[in-house]
Structure 1
Amino acid sequence: MKELYVVAAIGLATPLNLPVFRAGLEAQLARNPYFRSIQVTDKDGTPRWVRTTVNMDNHIVVVPRLELDETDADPDKAVEDYLSSLSTLPMDHTRPPWEFHFLDVRTSEAASIVVLRMHHALADGMSLITLLVSSSRSAADPAKPMPVPPPPARRAGAIYAPPPSTGALVWIWSYLLLAWHTLVDVAAFVATILFLRDPHTLFKRVDNGEPQRPMRFIHRSFSLDDVKFIKNAMNCMDVDMIESGKSDAVRWGNRLGYILLPFHLAMRDDPLEYVRKAKRIIDRKKSSLEMIVVHMAIDITFKIFGPKAGAYIFNNVLRNTTVTFSNLIGPPEQIELCGHPVAYIAPSVYGLQQALTVHYQSYSNTIKVILAVDEAQFPDFRQLLDDFAESLKLITKDVAAKASTKPIKND
């Protein structure tokens, strides 16, 4: 993760009160040892974390005003330009690699913006969302801590299912199928590390040898109710990524799992066929231990052969695939962070070997789609978001039309 960074834009529903926000940061970050550490390298080349003194002035960047084009004074575009500029700025690793940027500018969705930029080695998305939830208060009643997301429902798939009542033969067959799917998936993952590459399409970056180019971060909010409506109509399962908001509920650092998903480029007459196809792929992946086995194998490789072996696997998987998808469940209701109500949360990353990264972040009754795009490869990047919106509209409309012809159950 040498050049991999997190950029998380948090829209605030009120104008920025910097002293209040700063005091909240000082109180919360003192709980997290990673935010008070720097990485050093031992004589044998092994990196490790060492505690250091944090000077908050070195980690707070106040932007008094953004440069707005005189002919097109668009604050949303100005914030977007500023976020893009962060992907080209180096970070001083002689101090803990994180910083907060405060943009006191009103946009179409927020009264002010706070941007967290940090090295990905500090934490993964699960850790950051847990820190966010545990550091926030309920916007409805700031005297109370933020209620944690509900526990996940019982998961589906062969490994989670109880022995069937139809007999031992079916039970044995289900585990043989689990073993076969795991073997096939792990073999495909190893092949992807070594030689198997995606074909070159519009979405795949073709210039892996060039220096890292600036990324553009764009996002749009969608109705979570619409997504749930499609999920229920298509009989899809929830994807729950976090079970508790307590700061000690997950391990800090990075506990990454990988799963390879085939993504088919096709034009279909029925919009719902895209959802059906995705559901079939996910159902098939649920009958596999690919993520668990791959995570264990990478962990063992890292411990035996060191960070360079881990980096080889990490970089080759990204270099040989096309798009990275990541999603996290956020607070189920509006929160207040450091005395400021939060309007939206839009996390992303830069430093990957791919031209497009897609993040999904739920918050209250909305879901954010955040794209990190290589502007040189996607000059019409806003059209991508328009396509997301149009696709969701078509799928929702089609689901509603089919649902209206069926009897409604009272459950």
Structure 2
Amino acid sequence: MEVLKCIKLKADVEDPIRNDEEGLPLSPMARLFHKPDSSIYIIVMVGMKTEMNPEVIKASLVHTFLQQPRFCSLHVKDETVKGGLKWVNKKEVDLDKHVIVPMLDPNNIESPDKFVEEYTSNLSKTGIKMSMPMRDLHLLNLRTSDAESVAVFRVHHSLGDGVSLMSYFLTCTRKTCNPEEPPTILIIQKVNPSKSSGRFRGKFIKSWLAIVLFWNTLVDVVMFLAMALSILHDTKTPLKGSVDA
């Protein structure tokens, strides 16, 4: 039997890059992602049920992503800090440079799915200048087979990994039934319907595995001692050479 267990998210997320820590050096892993052969971007595609309004999204970003110093900071070269790169918080961020809304004509696009795929593929081949926070959002108001519109979020891997970025993304969302409450994630938890019989069976299996482990360990120790005392010898095989060789 399987039941759903709720995981509640916290609305506030602490970040090591705070305004009072400006000039903090980048971590070794973050510096690695700035190497020419290791410059990696994380690209996330989100399908929407309705057509997106860029102005509404920009207004929302002011109260979400722009409140996170890491997404408003620059990677500045400084030889006086360890690794030569440090975080510098940018006080003002121009959202028009980070929210890209290409002009699309659905009548001239034969396959919207293929267009979105090629558009996303091209984003992985280009980069974001270090003179601006290294993330951007592309809003494609184009109907595909799965969604009415598609949002493509691109962020440099030095800002975080997939787990941390997804966790922060979820904290920026709210429930439709309660706009003030963060979302709740449901996970599947297996429950044994017959607890009494399952408990006895589990103990029996654990006991048997412990006995087998003890026996195998004892045999290995005896074999090792026998080999060390030359009581037993290695098995002769075609791959085993002679002593003279």
Name the TM tier (shorter chain): 0.5 to 0.7
After TM superposition, give the deviation of residue 12 of structure 1 in Å. 0.8
Partner of residue 62, structure 1:
101
Match of 2:53 among 3, 6, 17: 17
Q: How does 1:115-134 map to 2 (within 5 A)?
A: 115-134=152-171
- The higher-RCO structure (CA 8 Å, 6+ apart) is 2
* Structure 2 CA distance for partners of 1:166 and 1:90, relative to 1, 3 Å: closer
List per-residue Cα deviations over 1:267-301 (Å, max 9, x = no partner): xxxxxxxxxxxxxxxxxxxxxxxxxxxxxxxxxxx
Structure-2 separation of matches of 1:59 and 1:28: 14
Return the TM-score normalized by structure 1.
0.36
The answer to whether the 8 A contact 1:67-1:78 is kept is no
Structure-1 separation of matches of 2:115 and 2:178: 32
The answer to whether the 8 A contact 1:40-1:47 is kept is yes
* Structure 2 CA distance for partners of 1:66 and 1:119, relative to 1, 3 Å: farther
Uncovered stretches (5+) of structure 1, i.e. residues with no partner = 155-161, 177-411
Structure-2 separation of matches of 1:172 and 1:51: 57
Structure-2 separation of matches of 1:9 and 1:91: 18
After TM superposition, give the deviation of residue 11 of structure 1 in Å. 0.9
> Which one has a bigger Cα radius of gyration?
2
Structure-2 separation of matches of 1:48 and 1:10: 31
Return the TM-score normalized by structure 2.
0.58
Q: How does 1:305-344 map to 2 (within 5 A)?
A: none
Q: Percent identity, aligned pairs only?
A: 29
After TM superposition, give the deviation of residue 170 of structure 1 in Å. 5.5
Q: How does 1:193-232 map to 2 (within 5 A)?
A: none
* Structure 2 CA distance for partners of 1:151 and 1:77, relative to 1, 3 Å: closer
List per-residue Cα deviations over 1:359-401 (Å, max 9, x = no partner): xxxxxxxxxxxxxxxxxxxxxxxxxxxxxxxxxxxxxxxxxxx
- Residue identity in the other structure for 1:131: Y
The answer to whether the 8 A contact 2:49-2:149 is kept is yes
Structure-1 separation of matches of 2:162 and 2:42: 9
The answer to whether the 8 A contact 2:76-2:130 is kept is no
Structure-1 separation of matches of 2:115 and 2:206: 61
Match of 1:137 among 163, 174, 179: 174
Please tell me the root mean square deviation across aligned C-alpha atoms, in Å.
Answer: 3.1
Q: How does 1:7-406 map to 2 (within 5 A)?
A: 7-44=43-80, 45-53=83-91, 54-65=93-104, 73-139=110-176, 141-143=177-179, 145-150=181-186, 166=207
Partner of residue 233, structure 2:
none
* Structure 2 CA distance for partners of 1:66 and 1:100, relative to 1, 3 Å: farther
List per-residue Cα deviations over 1:91-136 (Å, max 9, x = no partner): 1111110001111111111111111111011111111221222111
- Residue identity in the other structure for 2:76: V
- Residue identity in the other structure for 1:32: Q
The answer to whether the 8 A contact 2:66-2:72 is kept is yes
Partner of residue 221, structure 2:
none
